[in-house]
């Protein structure tokens, strides 16, 4: 296998793994946001990837893999066992959470936008 191809594959695998974990950065204790924040569990992370991807075209496939990870994470979060408390999208630093239907819609909107950006990058 070509070394450059192997490096690109490893970069894509690492990007997908990072994308899968990235929305849960809101669990970091140093951040002043709660889990399932409006900032991390919706279309804002895919929007950031869409904004960065044209600036670094040589990493286009890494951005696609990152978005795959984000989309999978969001789709998993769209169906928790119980929709209450931490499962709802919170608007931190405002101590308010979105109602059930809006939380579900916001998470799915983020996953759909990630898929749209993936397709546009491919």
Q: Please say whether the dihedral angle defined by the alpha carbons of residues 56, 59, 62 and 64, taken in this order, is positive or negative.
A: positive
pLDDT at 3: 72
* Rounded distance between C-alpha atoms, residue 82 and residue 84, angstroms: 6
Q: Is the pTM of this model over 0.75?
A: yes
Structural domains in the chain (count): 1
Expressed as residue numbers, the domain containing 86 is 3-121
pLDDT at 113: 97
Return phi, psi of residue 3, to 5°.
Answer: -60, -40
Q: Going from the first residue of the chain to its last (122 residues), give the mean pLDDT of each consecutive group of 10, the final group possibly shorter.
A: 82 96 87 84 95 94 96 89 74 86 93 96 92
């Amino acid at each position: 296998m070509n070394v450059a191809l192997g490096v690109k594959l490893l970069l894509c695998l690492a990007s997908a793994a990072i994308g899968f974990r990235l929305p849960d950065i809101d669990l970091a204790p140093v951040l002043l946001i709660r889990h399932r924040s409006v900032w991390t569990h919706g279309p804002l992370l895919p929007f950031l990837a869409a904004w960065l991807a044209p600036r670094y075209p040589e990493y286009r496939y890494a951005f696609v893999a990152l978005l795959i990870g984000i989309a999978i994470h969001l789709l998993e979060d769209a169906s928790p066992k119980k929709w209450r408390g931490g499962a709802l999208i919170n608007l931190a630093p405002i101590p308010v959470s979105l109602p059930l239907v809006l939380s579900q819609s916001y998470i799915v909107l983020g996953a759909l936008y990630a898929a749209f950006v993936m397709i546009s990058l491919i």
